[in-house]
Amino acid sequence: MAEVVLFHHVQGLTPGVLAFADRLRAGGHTVHTPDLFEGARPASIEEGFALTQQIGDDALAARATAGLPDGAVYAGFSFGVVTAQRLAQTRPGARGALLYEACLPIHGEWAIGPWPAGVPVQIHGMDKDPFFALEGDIDAARDLVDTVGPAQAELFVYPGDGHLFTDSSLPSYDPGATALVVERSLDFLDRVG
């Protein structure tokens, strides 16, 4: 059994994020879903980014790290990947990372730093997602896999152009792709738990 901290996307802690967490719980894992927006659910990605600016980076970071368990797998959807990946790369005792629909670079100007040895990672995204595939996240994911190797890092790319396709409460939801994401995520958690 793994302990997971799952960070929501920029539209908040939606019913779809909670439903995804429940699917991981059904696999026998403990899943925490902190609400970084304290109940706000922006209607669009643009409104979500405006809210993050209003809250501020320091407040978001404080909310993200309040009461974190030790030895967790850090997971996030899109905007939530920023927090999940940062914690997986910098927090001692991280057990792994599940990165959904985003990936930060581990090399170059915007990199947090190198990927830590012994921390497995699994990345999921769509091949024509305007954010994941067309803004460089897929390239960052491929670089991460190439750098740390397939024994520690996996990238799964699904056909489609939906962003936030794993959130059953949004129009971009893709049930078939999400079923595969959940199956692969549960396999990952079983291995690291």
Averaged pLDDT, 172-193: 97
- CA dist 68 and 10 (Å) reads 20
Q: Give the per-residue pLDDT at 153.
A: 97
Q: Is the pLDDT of residue 171 over 90?
A: yes
Distance of CA 148 to the CA centre of its chain: 19
Q: Is the pLDDT of residue 69 over 90?
A: no
The predicted-structure confidence for 10-34, as pLDDT tens digits, reads as follows: 999 999 999 999 999 999 999 999 9
Q: Is the pLDDT of residue 187 over 90?
A: yes
- CA dist 183 and 140 (Å) reads 23
Q: Give the per-residue pLDDT at 150.
A: 94
Q: Is the pLDDT of residue 66 over 90?
A: no
Q: Give the per-residue pLDDT at 160.
A: 97
Q: Give the per-residue pLDDT at 162.
A: 94
Give the containing element (helix H, strand E) for 41: none
The predicted-structure confidence for 122-162, as pLDDT tens digits, reads as follows: 999 999 999 999 999 999 999 999 999 999 999 999 999 99
| Averaged pLDDT score across all residues of the chain | 94
Q: Is the pLDDT of residue 183 over 90?
A: yes
Q: Give the per-residue pLDDT at 193.
A: 83
Structural domain including 163 reads 3-192
Number of structural domains in the chain: 1
Q: Is the pLDDT of residue 63 over 90?
A: no
CA atoms within 13 A on the CB side of 145: 17
Return phi, psi of residue 177, to 5°: -65, -40
- CA dist 122 and 184 (Å) reads 9
The CATH number of the domain holding residue 80 is: 3.40.50.1820
Give 189-192's long-range contacts (Cβ < 8 A, gap of 24+): 189/2, 189/4, 189/24, 189/27, 189/29, 189/73, 189/96, 189/98, 190/2, 190/27, 191/120, 192/2, 192/73, 192/95, 192/96, 192/120
Give 117-120's long-range contacts (Cβ < 8 A, gap of 24+): 118/152, 119/88, 119/89, 119/94, 119/95, 119/152, 120/96, 120/152, 120/153, 120/188, 120/191, 120/192
The predicted-structure confidence for 72-83, as pLDDT tens digits, reads as follows: 999 999 999 999
DSSP of 120-189: -EEEEEETT-TTTTTSSHHHHHHHHHHHH-TTTEEEEEESS--SSTT-TTSTT--HHHHHHHHHHHHHHH
Residue type at position 155: L
